[in-house]
Amino acid sequence: MSACVPTRHNRTSRSSRPPRASGVKRPHSPPPPRGGRFRIAGADVSASITVFLLAVPMSLGLAVAMDAPLQAGLISAAIGGIVAGLLGGTPLQVSGPSAGLTVVTAELIQVYGWRTTCAITIGAGLLQILLGSLRAARGALAVSPAIVHGTLAGIGVAIALAQLHIVLGGSPQSSAVANALALPGQLGRLSPAAPLIGVLTITVLVLWPRIPGQIGSGARRVPAALAAVVTATTVAALAAPGIARVDLPSWRAHVLPEMPHGPVLALATAVFTVMLVASLESLLAAMAVDKLSAAPSPTARTSASFPPPATPPPPAASPGAPEAPTTPTSHTPPSPTPSASLSPPSPPAPPVRRADLDRELRAQGIANTLSGLVGGLAVSGGAVRSSANVRAGAQGRASTVLHGVWVLLATGLLVTVLEWIPLAALAALVMMVGIQMVSLAHIRNVHKHREFLVYGATITGVVLFGVLKGVTIGIAVAVAVALHRLARTRITVTDQGGEHLVVVRGQLTFLAVPRLSRTLGRLPQGGNAVVELDGFFMDHAAYEAIQDWSTAQAAHGGRIVFTGRSGGRIAEPASAAHSCCRPWTPWRNHHCHDEPGRTPEAVHGPGTPFTDAHPVTDPLGTPHDMPHDTPTPTPTPAPASAPSPNVAPGRGPAPSPHRSPARTAGPPAEAVRPAGGNRLISGLSSFQRNTAPLVREELARLAAEGQRPSQLFITCADSRLVTSMITASGPGDLFTVRNIGNLVPLPNAESGDDSVGAAIEYAVDVLEVESITICGHSGCGAMQALLGAKPDPHTPPTSLWRWLRHGLPSLERMASRHHAWARISGRLPTDALEQLCLTNVVQQLDHLRAHESVARRLAEGTLRLHGMYFHVGEAQAYLLTEGASSGLELDEVFDRVGPGDPAGSGELERAGV
């Protein structure tokens, strides 16, 4: 067995796992208020107003779409905000009228009437309370994501078709199919007023978030939905006074629920359908909010590592992203005091709790029960409202509750104002909500996971037959696909000159045993064979068949080797053969030549995985072991603790009081790795042996043709930042400049640094790169030094400080009241150090634009600038929004880059609700 095992993948010791309280896995939603007290922060008040301005038109629009009393939409918004906000398990989630239940509720009102529909809502709420008490919320998420998102997409299609009729000046039909068939006739009876108001509403909705410059930054403080409805209302009042408008009847005409009348089975089905859709929508939105609201706890914001503020806090950020806290000890640029860099880091704040889904389900049930009792619509958590709440800077459930209070006040004080809103504007708003429920990101994901058949069947079923039947169809198709994959096993045999390669692809169950035994029986007795098991499951019958055959072959002198898909034998981790000596990754924990007792000749190169094959008697371990997941214990010790990220440049690693036992256990790194020059020679030897043969041809081509990199990459000299690894690049791709703090000195500055300027000029004018990226990172020692004390004025400045003075503008920018704080999408910066690391990237982009060659290429439109932040501990990259990178947008937000999602779209949009 190979000893080439990366220590970071060693799963054999429980001590290697970080404790739950270590903070390795960042928790998400904020904790509930301590001591039962309801606390209201200034940020919660402003966020509640933002959500209120969005919720009122949304609630009225959904009530119009369901053909329900308009007061019912406002009632459900108020109850959802106050009741679900107070009792829910996701403090930042905002509940209100359910967009997913639009089609279902409209059908129920048409069949049973409004009062019976209210009774059905009460029954669905009671059922939600029961399921939440039985802790069944997690079980609801066991439904295939393809079915859930297909259901929401089908509902979105039905909503869009129905509201299109209102936008065109007509009335919707009873079903999605009927609405689609009636469209040609509706187009023939077209009147211009309603369509023009609808088009105006959609135009404002789409363009409002994209207004550039300082005007756009101020405009985005107003929700796009409110701006669209106000614009449409104003234009309609001036140009189309006779258009159909909102008609809020008197509260004296408001009706309450009655005992339901109708077939018991049909009513029970209706209750179950309302419960299912509302619960799935709420739980999916809660999970999305849980990811989006990954903000530090209040104790983390006021930890001892924050020095007292040097200046008043900057102005509030735009509602498009989290606001800066207004408390005097929160996220304020520190003053450069001598104690800042010498004081030990404060202990990490206790981790905040994730969303309690069972509590959230119970709260949704209580809200639905009360909403039905007072004549309101069904309630569920909504991603649109919740997204606005998080991005407006809400810090707790006070924002959600206050938004419900504002809605309640508006129902009594703003009736005259609301009755000016055109129905076509509300219909256009809801139609856009329906269109957004068909998520292209989810379509790509289900296609990538080969579940598009399930997704398509669910959409088709919901559109053609309704929600409950569509979900049933989706589940049936999902089960059929799973059974087909389970029973599908492909077995191929290839003769490789005296040795046979047997490839088994798919799951090995008893259904595949006859074909497997027949294929293996045809191989010559005593021959050599390699069996590649490319699957994820093996039952007892298949295990016995393979075990008996391998034992018989070994008894006749044959050599049998079992491998996984990567080519590594299944008696060792797949990573040992696949990634330990993989080209481009000769980094710390993957030094195969540094293992004790390891000789270079024993290393399996990428092309020779079976050179030391030998007979085995028990090649599979246990019957249910899987080829890719059967790690065996190895004597490889854990590496020594990594240096603290808060060490300033030039300082050695200091012992941290917060280091977990798992990180300090085991012998030091020097016990298992050569030091100094020996390590360098060993690494060079490994390169010449494993990597050079694979890249020699490419390097020869580059040597003959010259370098033609497409990017200039300016980043920090920190050893933890491996540019080729995080950018998946190789020779000839990046022209890289590294210095302490990824600083770009201004041109012609006093004692300016000509090295960086020369590199920029050479890359832009000679190499003609297409883009320049400035990459900062977490735990930057240079930024930590800037936060510390300046050197004594009576002591000559060191070389390090003379260089770091180029970063002083970043410190000034963070303390300035004229610049919005740089932020990470979905959460606030963890501390002042991370805030300065982000701000420094933005400031160095400004310095870069001051260089003559860069300014000229930018004016020609042949060069693009990018800002990037890499969180070392999370191995996560963030990109500065395009407008901020180009200097045209003041809102400086770093968006998360996800797998297969270079645009870094938000979690709620990916949730598809």
Rounded distance between C-alpha atoms, residue 224 and residue 496, angstroms: 65
Rounded distance between C-alpha atoms, residue 580 and residue 570, angstroms: 15
Q: Which of 718, 813, 831, 896 is catalytic?
A: 718
Rounded distance between C-alpha atoms, residue 644 and residue 653, angstroms: 6
Please indicate whether residue 118 is annotated as part of the active site. no
Please indicate whether residue 780 is annotated as part of the active site. yes
Across 602-748, the runs of DSSP E, i.e. the strands, are 711-716, 734-739
Please indicate whether residue 891 is annotated as part of the active site. no
Rounded distance between C-alpha atoms, residue 347 and residue 384, angstroms: 36
Rounded distance between C-alpha atoms, residue 138 and residue 283, angstroms: 9
Rounded distance between C-alpha atoms, residue 79 and residue 87, angstroms: 11
- Residues paired with 827 in a beta bridge: 824
Which of 522, 448, 524 has its CA nearest to residue 491? 522
Query: Which residues, in sequence order, are CB contacts of 37 under 8 Å at separation 6+?
Result: none
CB 228, CB 201: distance < 8 Å? yes
CB 721, CB 742: distance < 8 Å? no
Q: Which of 26, 679, 689, 720 is catalytic?
A: 720
* Token pair of 459 as six digits: 């959409």
Give the DSSP letter string of 504-517. EEE-B-GGGHHHHH
CB 736, CB 723: distance < 8 Å? yes
Rounded distance between C-alpha atoms, residue 836 and residue 784, angstroms: 9
Give the DSSP letter string of 771-795. EEEEEEETT-HHHHHHHSPPPPTTS
CB 290, CB 28: distance < 8 Å? yes
Tokens 């023009």 found at: 196
Q: How far is CA 509 from CA 102, 407, 518, 546, 675, in A?
A: 44, 58, 15, 12, 50
CA dihedral over 551, 552, 557, 559, signed as positive or negative: negative
Please indicate whether residue 901 is annotated as part of the active site. no
Tokens 């059905």 found at: 120
Q: Which of 4, 580, 592, 716 is catalytic?
A: 716
3-state DSSP assignment of residue 306 = coil
Side chain identity at 630, as an amino acid letter? Answer: T
What would you report as the CA-atom Rg of the chain, rounded to the nearest whole angstrom?
A: 32
> What strand order describes the sheet that includes 499-506?
489-495, 499-506, 528-534, 560-563
Phi and psi at 361, nearest 5°, equal -65, -40
3-state DSSP assignment of residue 118 = helix
Please indicate whether residue 775 is annotated as part of the active site. no
Q: Which of 4, 581, 780, 837 is catalytic?
A: 780
Quote the Cα angle for 689-695-698, to 5°.
Answer: 155
- Residues paired with 715 in a beta bridge: 738, 775
Rounded distance between C-alpha atoms, residue 639 and residue 281, angstroms: 45
Q: Which of 777, 806, 851, 910 is catalytic?
A: 777
CA dihedral 383, 388, 394, 397 (to 10 degrees): -40
What is the β-pairing status of strands 499-506 and 489-495? Answer: antiparallel
Rounded distance between C-alpha atoms, residue 9 and residue 589, angstroms: 9
Query: Which residues, in sequence order, are CB contacts of 689 under 8 Å at separation 6+?
Result: 600, 603, 605
CB 43, CB 402: distance < 8 Å? no
Phi and psi at 893, nearest 5°, equal -125, 130
H or E segment to which residue 380 belongs: strand 379-381
Q: Known catalytic residues?
A: 716, 718, 720, 777, 780
